[in-house]
Structure 1
């Protein structure tokens, strides 16, 4: 998830450390379902809660939860309800049943196993960019809420581009040659295409050469890309989604060796410097390939660029489809 930090937010590193300390992570108590707090990014006990490497700030949020299976809670609650009916001859009402469910849950929580997950936060104040490695919008919202609660004056907005990711991905898949792909970006071998019609048909290509008529035919029939595997500059592979999320980020062979250190105490700094040094230019290239960043409050301007589906459908779709129909089926 990539956000743009609003103007005027310029805290010091010490300000951020001070703000995070009151909400440092504390494990769940015996009857506590969830605990959220900040932990040292380096993983060292009692270390700083925010690290600065080459001007890039790194934070880490820990989320711990305990879950009791719902069927177990219901079964235990039913047993207590049966005991009450046997002892008093009356059936508990709805409110009493809800209270019994809550009591059962509290009694079982101390026996539940904890599940922990962490989310890294990268703040690039010079470029007013905030990046999360959250796997879902819900998790990202939780992290942003935790940040907003402690950082006064912080305002962010999801980055929006002039051309939507889906429109751009459609153009790239319909491109007759790789020469029409953006500079530094290469279409790889994975995509998900989904129909916008009522049938919601979808097709997934994995480990499949995408610059072919089979893929183009699906697109021309109305299935639009929701995910597309790309690589940048031969150094970073990722999957771009229709909502401008970058998933499955992977540094390609040999890239992380450029950090040049095996010492644990130095590895964190080297990895952060290398990762942010690559991902910053990657995001700049991607935003440029999507027509640049859209100003806040502006309407999407996909129509300013040729809509590949509209252009092709209005001019060459009949010819293209006829040519494809004459070909042998793929299997």
Structure 2
């Protein structure tokens, strides 16, 4: 299930329609790269069963999966082949290929090598909570999350989103929790933290498997270093690392959360229901701990516009 969470607020203009979304994603199914295609992108069945639904609805929560395949061409291999071609031209004509000619050579070399290249596939889970108008992407970086959302916006009619924002910035809140030694209600502070200065030095202090209630942490904060990552747990059920960008990383469900008697055939639905059920409660509790959700009507919303996912 989800290992990371970037959370978006869905715009009020979108009308959730499960069958319409399933049909839209079916038209953009993933197709592997052809021999000379450098990359491919498309949607796959989240359950992993061929010809299954493109959108799985579990306990009112919708799950989708985007898949990307890229051909791997090491730059050193491409450069060596270009150098070989350029050398042959120089020996045959007595002149060195210019910048434009080398660019053309690169295009030829890449086209020649692509059919022999290894491929790498990655997939990203997307979770939609239609009732609470939330969209969550399991991506390790903000850039990748925005790219995945942009790909969904292209096919989901009327869908617009903006990042979920809190009234108090995560960095300020985390500094307060560490400074006071008190976590917000329902949460505990764990043993991992990163502090970074805002000056030109950009100095960083990282703690791993280390108590964070010592004077040294408070001294760093007092000197102007702000938390960019903080490991926390929620209700002894979910652990995670909160970032200053309001992302949750390294999500792990603690002992007892997945203790059930479901058969292997039911694991997908059981695990999905349990995971989304826990995280649906964690998100509002965390936002409350950060002073509540920012009033998006008071600021200009930043809408994620469709962008090319497979940039060079």
- Structure 1 Cα separation of the partners of residues 200 and 144 of structure 2: 30
Residue matched to 1:236: 238
Does residue 269 of structure 2 align to residue 252 of structure 1? no
2:300 is equivalent to residue 295 of structure 1? no
The structure-2 alpha-carbon separation of the partners of 1:116 and 1:220, relative to structure 1 and needing over 3 Å to count, comes to same
SS of aligned partner of 2:73: coil
- Distance in 1, matches of 2:216 and 2:87, equals 62
Is 1:36–2:41 an aligned residue pair? Answer: yes
* Cα shift at 1:167: 0.4
The alignment partner of 1:90 has SS state of coil
Deviation at 1:297, TM superposition (A): 5.3
- Give the paired residue count: 295
Under a length normalisation based on structure 2, what TM-score does the superposition of the two structures give?
0.91
Deviations 1:188-216 (A, max 9, x none): 11100111122221111111111121211
| Runs of 5+ consecutive residues of structure 1 not aligned to the other structure | 301-331
Match of 1:201 in 2: 203
CA offsets per residue over residues 290-320 of structure 1, 9 Å max, x none? 00001125369xxxxxxxxxxxxxxxxxxxx
1:103-155 CA deviation, whole Å, 9 max, x = no partner? 10111111111111110000001000000001112211221121011011000
Compared CA separation, residues 27 and 83, structure 1 to 2 (3 A): same
Which of 197, 217, 220 pairs up with 1:218? 220
Query: How far off its partner does 1:158 sit?
Result: 0.1
1:168 deviates by 0.3
Larger radius of gyration: 1
Equivalent residue, structure 2, for 1:326: none
Q: 2:110 corresponds to which residue?
A: 105
Stretches of structure 2 that go unaligned for 5 or more consecutive residues are: 1-5, 301-312
Matching residue of 2:18: 13
Contact 2:16-2:130 at 8 Å conserved across structures: no
Q: Structure 1 length normalisation: TM-score?
A: 0.86
1:262 corresponds in structure 2 to 263
- RMSD between aligned alpha carbons? 1.4
Structure with higher RCO (Cα < 8 A, 6+ apart): 2
Task: Tell me which stretches of 4 or more aligned residues in structure 1 moved more than 3 Å.
Answer: 297-300
Structure with more of its chain in helix, by fraction: 1
